[in-house]
Amino acid sequence: MSAITSSAELGLKEGTWTIDPAHSSIEFVVKHLVVSKVRGRFNEFAGTITVASNLLDSAVNATIATNSIFTGQEMRDNHLKSGEFLDAEANPQITFDSTSIVANGDSYTLNGDLSIHGVTKGVALDLEFNGIASHPMGGNRAAFTATTTISRKDFNMEYNAPLETGGMLLSDKITIELEIQASAPEA
């Protein structure tokens, strides 16, 4: 089966959909001590999905407040906000601006420019359209899931420490997981 490329076929209204942060999440996973995973999230973000008639001509733009990082441990959060990682003071936002959408079988790849820690790199996200639902308070909502893996080193976040048993304290790879709900354009 091939991915649908018509917004009308999916029931997606053309125009600018607004990401609903109350019903969305931006989370990440990094390996710690080689054997376990630590999870975190960003609590403040905003964005839009501009839906075109041909879905492959659509665009996504998002900003994330760097200072809103949360892992459940204040000391770790403060370290992640420091210059060794995100440098939140000098880089108050992480941004994503799509460059293309490509149909991949029955799903999509969302390509774009991701800017973290003052560095911009191209990334590819595996994108799934989860459907549309009518909201009890009015209007429609669309849901999407997107995932990607990035290298911390690509974004000048090279802090690490060798372990006596071999390996490093933190993995270079970070998995990013997004669950996005967006509100339909106003009539």
Least confident of 32-46, 119-133, 155-169: 155-169
Q: What is the pLDDT of residue 134?
A: 84
Q: What is the pLDDT of residue 178?
A: 98
Q: What is the pLDDT of residue 186?
A: 77
Contact 109, 101 (CB under 8 A): yes
Number of CB atoms found within 10 A of residue 178's CB: 22
Note the pLDDT tens digit of each residue in 163-174.
677 765 677 799
Q: What is the pLDDT of residue 185?
A: 86
Q: Mean pLDDT across the stretch 147-166?
A: 82
Residue 22 dihedral angles phi and psi, to the nearest 5° = -70, -20
Classified by CATH at the fold level, domain 7-183 comes out as Lipocalin (2.40.128)
Taking the CA atoms of the chain, what radius of gyration do you get in angstroms? 18
Q: What is the pLDDT of residue 187?
A: 57
Share of the chain above pLDDT 90, in %: 66
Note the pLDDT tens digit of each residue in 40-89.
999 999 999 999 999 999 999 999 999 999 999 999 899 999 988 899 99
Summary mean pLDDT of the chain: 90
Nearest to 42 by CA among 76, 9, 66, 16: 66
Domain limits of the chain?
Answer: 7-183
Query: Three-class SS of residue 154?
Result: helix
Q: What is the pLDDT of residue 16?
A: 96
Which tokens belong to 23? 């019903």
Least confident of 8-12, 97-101, 161-165: 161-165
Q: What is the pLDDT of residue 167?
A: 64
Q: What is the pLDDT of residue 84?
A: 86
